């Protein structure tokens, strides 16, 4: 494969475009609403109407407004139809004939769409995730070509550093710095790992990226491999995402067949192969050291750092671990330049962030906004507020490691630092809206139950602490607790936070701490007065 061949594939693909394109969303959300049948019906209807040379029916990834699926986008008239089903799908052909289909249309001028800025999701909903040609037609793999042919590895790392890209897996570690650490480390081999474990129970960004545009992740990984000098990559993906797994497998096969993965990529000395590793349902495996243990086929328990994976990772070799979205940003940065990327976002957080907007909000789905967009814009303008006109109470970000931002503070501009100041975290991008019907103590207990179940049990503060905190929260929720229990809970939070081995335990108290900070009254109104028993000291709680 060389540049001419790549361009030839692009030309051929563009040349076969038809006047009309019906883009049918076949990502998981719409698929579960029956979009595969919609696609079949459309294809049949197109054939029956003899419109095959006029209309292309294309499977694409997420079209963002998942709650209204199945969605179909009609090009070139730029209209989005929602709640299409197998029965009424054929009506869409009316549009091709110049008529007006009797179908619900989504308002593409709504802030939900207009406030989005797509970098990571640029191809999502546009290219066919199951055909590499479709990705190449959208300038796919051009960045990889340019990187390996025209740039030195150190220039690639420089570009990533200048762009200001930070890890999208949660902590926001500068990606350029991580890459240069791995590049400097020495070892018999080096590895590149993509963390697609997406453990936050209420988030589906990484899944959507993998289902909608798997090649962009592969391309990002290959560029990273070139930059740090690795030859083998692993994608660790959750077993709960069968469609993402299937599309990744397909993407890897197709790239290999075209020689875009393998040896001597684009005629350069770069050899790079990617292997999939399927997780098996353990949240802690999102933590990087646990993830590596799991790739090695062991129980996914974290180990102390240092040594960091960049120095000693998989099988003791230097290993670069980045999140799906981090990798998906890379081709765009190489293609459009680091300065372009750095011009988007806030001072310390560059680029965009993909959020999975869900919970008690009207428009749920996938959004990508520039860093620095306010929570209010996201939730009220784009999300359309709570359904049924209820009052929004809080927004939860960061899942079980994060916290709740109360409605009064929703004018905060979202970036890594601002959310941390509010006692929450950016996290990987889950954003759950809560309204008056949501009980904050119940939410805190929900997350604690999650951490309790998912604690790997290696260290005691987390293993025992989460059980105790969960017990205390249940006690408060059931109205059996006193002020003393609340004090013990706060003490425990502090202890678990500071003494746990890995991020899971260290952040497990966050949902409690943040709800205590902003919604303390919800805890206090459940407490019962202290009854001091005469005689013996009080027995232990629980």
Partner 1 sequence: MLSRGRCLPPYWDRPLMERSGSDRAMPGNQSNAMIATLATPRRKRIQEVLTRAGSDKRFKILEAHMKKHQHRQDALIEILHKAQELFGYLDDDQLLFVAHGLKLPPSRVYGVATFYHFFRLKPKGEHTCVVCMGTACYVKGADKILAAIEQFAGVRAGETTPDGRVSILTARCIGACGIAPAVVYDGNVAPRQTPDSALATIQSWMSHGS
| Closer residue to partner 1, CB minimum distance, 160 or 357 | 357
Nearest-angstrom CA–CA distance, 159 and 538: 63
Q: How far is the CB of 432 from ligand FES (least distance, A)?
A: 8
Kindly report whether the peptide bond that precedes residue 120 is cis, defined as omega within 30 degrees of 0: no
| Closer residue to ligand SF4, CB minimum distance, 199 or 505 | 505
DSSP string, 267-292: GSS--BEEEEEE--S-GGGGSHHHHH
25 binds, among ligand FMN, ligand FES, partner 1, none (CB under 5 to 8 A by kind): ligand FES
Residue sitting closest to ligand SF4 (CB): 505
496 binds, among partner 1, ligand SF4, ligand FMN, none (CB under 5 to 8 A by kind): none
63 binds, among ligand FES, partner 1, ligand SF4, none (CB under 5 to 8 A by kind): ligand FES
> Measured between alpha carbons, how far is residue 499 from residues 230, 290, 467, 506 in Å?
35, 18, 15, 7
Q: Is 457 in the site for ligand FMN (CB under 6 A)?
A: no
Nearest-angstrom CA–CA distance, 127 and 137: 8
| Closer residue to partner 1, CB minimum distance, 66 or 260 | 66
Q: Is 24 in the site for partner 1 (CB under 8 A)?
A: no
**Interface pattern 430-469 for partner 1 (x via CB under 8 A):** x-x-x---x----x--xx--x--xxxxx-----x------
27 binds, among ligand SF4, ligand FES, ligand FMN, none (CB under 5 to 8 A by kind): ligand FES
DSSP string, 286-350: GSHHHHHHHHTTS------SSSPTTTS-GGGS-EEEEEHHHHHHHHHHHHH-HHHHHTSB-SSSB
> Measured between alpha carbons, how far is residue 33 from residues 81, 88, 309, 361 in Å?
14, 14, 41, 19
Residue 72 is inside which H or E element, if any? strand 72-75
- The length of the chain in residues reads 542
Nearest-angstrom CA–CA distance, 167 and 172: 4
207 binds, among ligand FMN, ligand FES, partner 1, none (CB under 5 to 8 A by kind): partner 1
Q: Is 63 in the site for ligand FES (CB under 6 A)?
A: yes
Contact positions with ligand FMN (CB under 6 A) in 485-514? 502-504
Closest CA to 492 of 476, 475, 468: 468
| Closer residue to ligand SF4, CB minimum distance, 168 or 458 | 458
| Closer residue to ligand FES, CB minimum distance, 30 or 274 | 30
Q: Is 469 in the site for ligand FES (CB under 6 A)?
A: no
State whether the Cα torsion 176-272-323-151 is positive or negative.
positive
Contact positions with ligand FMN (CB under 6 A) in 190-209? 195, 197-199
199 binds, among ligand FMN, ligand SF4, ligand FES, none (CB under 5 to 8 A by kind): ligand FMN
Pairing of strands 273-278, 319-323: unpaired
Residue with tokens 């986008």: 73
Q: Is 64 in the site for ligand FES (CB under 6 A)?
A: yes
| Closer residue to ligand FES, CB minimum distance, 71 or 282 | 71
Nearest-angstrom CA–CA distance, 416 and 439: 26
| Residues whose CB falls within 8 Å of the CB of residue 395, separated by 6 or more in sequence, listed in order | 375, 379, 404, 405, 407, 410, 431, 432, 433, 434
Question: Count of residues binding ligand FES (CB under 6 A)?
Answer: 15
Binder among 6, 29, 191, 353 for ligand FES (CB under 6 A): 29
Q: How many helices (H) and strands (E) does the chain have?
A: 23, 14
- The footprint of ligand FES (CB under 6 A) covers 25, 27, 29-30, 62-66, 69, 71, 201-202, 365-366
- The footprint of partner 1 (CB under 8 A) covers 28-29, 31-33, 66-67, 69, 198-204, 207-208, 239-241, 277-283, 294-300, 356, 358-360, 364-366, 396, 399, 430, 432, 434, 438, 443, 446-447, 450, 453-457, 463
């Amino acid at each position: 494969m060389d540049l001419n061949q790549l361009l030839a594939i692009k030309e051929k693909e563009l040349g076969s475009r038809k006047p009309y394109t019906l883009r049918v969303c076949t990502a998981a959300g719409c698929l579960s609403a029956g979009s595969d049948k919609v696609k079949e019906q459309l294809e049949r209807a197109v054939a029956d109407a003899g419109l095959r040379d006029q209309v292309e029916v294309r499977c694409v990834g997420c079209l963002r407004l998942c709650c209204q699926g199945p969605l179909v986008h009609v090009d070139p008239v730029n209209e989005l139809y929602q709640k299409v089903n197998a029965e009424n799908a054929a009506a869409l052909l009316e549009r091709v004939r110049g008529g007006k289909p009797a179908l619900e249309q989504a308002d593409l001028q709504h802030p939900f769409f207009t406030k989005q800025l797509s970098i990571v999701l640029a191809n999502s909903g546009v290219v066919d995730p199951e055909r590499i040609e479709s990705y190449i037609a959208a300038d796919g793999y051009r960045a990889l070509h340019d990187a390996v042919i025209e740039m030195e590895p150190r220039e690639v790392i420089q570009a990533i550093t200048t762009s200001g890209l930070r890890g999208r897996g949660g902590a926001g570690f500068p990606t350029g710095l991580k890459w240069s650490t791995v590049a400097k480390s020495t070892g018999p081999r080096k590895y590149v790992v993509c963390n697609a474990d997406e453990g936050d129970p209420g988030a589906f960004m990484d899944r959507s990226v993998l289902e909608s545009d798997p090649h962009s992740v592969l391309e990002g990984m290959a560029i990273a491999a070139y930059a740090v000098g690795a030859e083998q990559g692993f994608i660790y993906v959750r077993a709960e995402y069968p469609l993402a797994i299937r599309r990744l497998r397909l993407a890897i096969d197709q790239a290999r067949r075209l020689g875009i993965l393998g040896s001597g990529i684009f005629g350069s000395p770069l050899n790079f192969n990617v292997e999939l590793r399927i997780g098996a349902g353990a949240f802690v495996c999102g933590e990087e050291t646990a993830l590596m243990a799991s790739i090695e086929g062991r129980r996914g328990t974290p180990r102390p750092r240092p040594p960091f994976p960049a120095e000693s990772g998989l099988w003791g070799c230097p290993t670069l671990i980045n999140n799906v979205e981090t990798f998906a940003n890379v081709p765009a940065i190489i293609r459009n330049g680091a300065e372009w990327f750095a011009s988007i976002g806030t001072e310390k957080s560059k680029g965009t962030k993909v959020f999975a907007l869900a919970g008690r909000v009207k428009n749920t789905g996938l959004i990508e906004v520039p860093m620095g967009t306010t929570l209010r814009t996201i939730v009220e303008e784009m999300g359309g507020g709570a359904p049924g006109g209820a009052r929004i109470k809080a927004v939860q970000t960061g899942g079980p490691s994060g916290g709740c931002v109360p409605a009064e503070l929703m004018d905060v501009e979202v970036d890594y630092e601002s959310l941390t100041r509010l006692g929450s975290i950016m996290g990987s991008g889950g954003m759950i809206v809560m309204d008056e019907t949501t009980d904050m103590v119940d939410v805190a207990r929900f997350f604690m139950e999650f951490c309790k179940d998912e604690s790997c049990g290696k260290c005691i503060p987390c293993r025992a602490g989460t059980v105790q905190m969960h017990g205390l929260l249940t006690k408060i929720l059931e109205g059996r607790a006193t002020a003393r229990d609340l004090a013990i809970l706060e003490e425990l939070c502090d202890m678990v936070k500071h003494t746990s081995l890995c991020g899971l335990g260290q952040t497990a108290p966050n949902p409690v701490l943040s709800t205590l900070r902003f919604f303390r009254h919800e805890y206090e109104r459940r407490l019962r007065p202290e009854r001091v028993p005469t005689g013996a000291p009080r027995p232990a709680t629980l």
